């Protein structure tokens, strides 16, 4: 199967051997970050540094001021972590292409803590009134305009043959955060969903348009969560596939609790659960369709548009929850989290395989960094299992973060 490895530009810029080293893994493609959230990343082979700290979400190329002049929200340029290269993406992409690799962009959208800090009114607001600055509310017109414009600018970078759009949907409570201290009360899938519901003015208006009183709905959410905080309820039982993005958990899934819609209905009631899900699925689905269409219109013919996704519509995070039939009517394919073992792979791939066309891409995304929960030593067997379930391509997270033993296992797994 066609295989692509994820990379950051700083894995390549300043390291003359990086591009050839990635090509030697046996991959034919690299998915290279063009717009990314804040992170702290190891660079175990770079000749100049070992740790890169990206202080805020940024575009890794020079944004076009003229494009953004009419927008209230704008992307942030990268800081010194790109080594002073104002077009770190472009420099890395050129080196990778020279090594014979196809380059696709990796674009993170609705995940931006600096945006929430500087524009707090754009953030998701939970039923208690707490803001989540890392989670832009995708119901807000200014946020939606920003996300679509960012996708149009960041996805079809010069020379790119395709893109992978991450976080194109709702973000919620779950978030890999500095000095995180929210694990004192374990939240299942159902409770995590309730803690991720947004009650900003735009979402309140949306609930009202579907016939709900927003104040009563927020009170119902708080009442539903009260037994979870007191320990009288567990917030749902484990089920389903994980929703971790490439390299990080994003809420729900094995070990985080679950229960599906049944669990949500048990906490909130069937009518309110259905109404909130209706609002969120409509909002995310329309944004996904708009962004994908806008990228396709801006790109050259044949440009491939993929999206990181989860088949459970209420899930939040890097792999946005989607309706499988709906999203495959718009995207050329999907990148799906498959690290969690055979049952998790089946839960993720099967719903999409039922709706794929002959040319649909279903890329099974495997973490190949052992220290981050991956299993590079079983990659060949895991990939074969994914292919039997309908996967057509592989994604490897993450060639820049992996140690030498992990990369050796990848080379062995991809050997012809």
Cα four-point dihedral sign 253, 257, 262, 266: negative
Q: What stretch of H or E contains 115?
A: helix 113-118
Nearest to 308 by CA among 76, 70, 31: 31
CA dihedral 91, 308, 123, 202 (to 10 degrees): 130
Residue-level pLDDT at 359: 96
Along the 416 residues of the chain, how does pLDDT read in single tens digits?
999 999 999 999 999 999 999 999 999 999 999 999 999 999 999 999 999 999 999 999 999 999 999 999 999 999 999 999 999 999 999 999 999 999 999 999 999 999 999 999 999 999 999 999 999 999 999 999 999 999 999 999 999 999 999 999 999 998 887 777 878 898 999 999 999 999 999 999 999 999 999 999 999 999 999 999 998 776 654 333 333 344 333 333 332 334 799 999 999 999 999 999 999 999 999 999 999 999 999 999 999 999 999 999 999 999 999 999 999 999 999 999 999 999 999 999 999 999 999 999 999 999 999 999 999 999 999 999 999 999 999 999 999 999 999 999 999 999 99
Q: 259-274: string of b/e by CB count within 10 Å (b at 16+)? A: bbbebbbbbbeeebbe
Phi, psi of 13 (to 5 degrees): -65, 125
Domains and CATH numbers, the chain: 2-181+242-254+281-414 (3.20.20.80)
Q: How far apart are CA 187 and CA 179, in angstroms?
A: 18
Residue-level pLDDT at 258: 44
Q: How far apart are CA 314 and CA 188, in angstroms?
A: 13
Q: How far apart are CA 286 and CA 282, in angstroms?
A: 6
> 3-state SS string over 39-61?
EEEECCCCCCCCEEEECCCEECC
Residue-level pLDDT at 175: 86
Write down how long the chain is.
416
């Amino acid at each position: 199967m066609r295989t692509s490895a994820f990379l950051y530009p700083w894995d390549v810029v300043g390291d003359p051997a990086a591009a050839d080293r990635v090509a030697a893994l046996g991959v034919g493609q690299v998915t290279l970050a063009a717009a990314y959230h804040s992170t702290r990343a190891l660079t175990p082979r770079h000749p100049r540094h070992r740790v890169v700290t990206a202080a805020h979400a940024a575009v890794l190329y020079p944004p076009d001021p003229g494009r953004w002049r009419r927008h209230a929200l704008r992307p942030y340029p990268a800081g010194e972590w790109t080594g002073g290269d104002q077009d770190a993406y472009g420099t890395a992409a050129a080196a990778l292409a020279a090594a014979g690799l196809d380059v696709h962009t990796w674009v993170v959208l609705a995940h931006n803590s600096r945006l929430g800090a500087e524009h707090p009114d754009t953030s998701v607001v939970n039923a208690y009134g707490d803001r989540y600055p890392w989670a832009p509310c995708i119901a807000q017109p200014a946020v939606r305009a920003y996300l679509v414009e960012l996708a149009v600018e960041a996805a079809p970078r010069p020379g790119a043959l395709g893109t992978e759009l991450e976080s194109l949907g709702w973000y919620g409570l779950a978030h890999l955060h500095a000095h995180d201290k929210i694990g004192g009360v374990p939240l299942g899938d159902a409770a995590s969903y309730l803690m991720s519901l947004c009650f900003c003015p735009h979402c309140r208006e949306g609930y009202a348009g579907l016939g709900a009183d927003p104040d009563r709905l927020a009170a119902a959410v708080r009442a539903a969560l009260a037994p979870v905080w007191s320990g009288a309820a567990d917030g749902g039982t484990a089920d389903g596939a994980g929703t971790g993005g490439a390299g990080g958990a994003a809420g729900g899934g094995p070990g985080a609790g679950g229960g599906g819609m049944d669990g949500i209905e048990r906490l909130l009631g069937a009518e309110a659960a259905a109404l909130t899900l209706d609002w969120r699925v409509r909002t995310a689905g329309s944004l996904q369709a708009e962004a994908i269409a806008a990228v396709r219109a801006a790109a050259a013919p044949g440009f491939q548009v993929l999206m990181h996704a989860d088949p459970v519509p209420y899930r939040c995070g890097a792999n946005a929850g989607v309706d499988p039939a709906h999203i495959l009517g718009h995207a050329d394919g999907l990148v799906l989290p498959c690290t969690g073992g055979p049952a998790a792979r089946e839960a993720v791939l099967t719903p999409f395989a039922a709706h794929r066309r002959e040319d649909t891409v279903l890329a099974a995304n495997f973490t190949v960094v052992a220290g981050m929960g991956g299993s590079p030593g079983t990659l060949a067997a895991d990939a074969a299992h994914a292919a039997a379930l309908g996967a057509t391509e592989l994604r490897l997270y993450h060639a820049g973060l992996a140690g030498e033993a992990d990369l050796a296992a990848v080379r062995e797994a991809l050997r012809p």
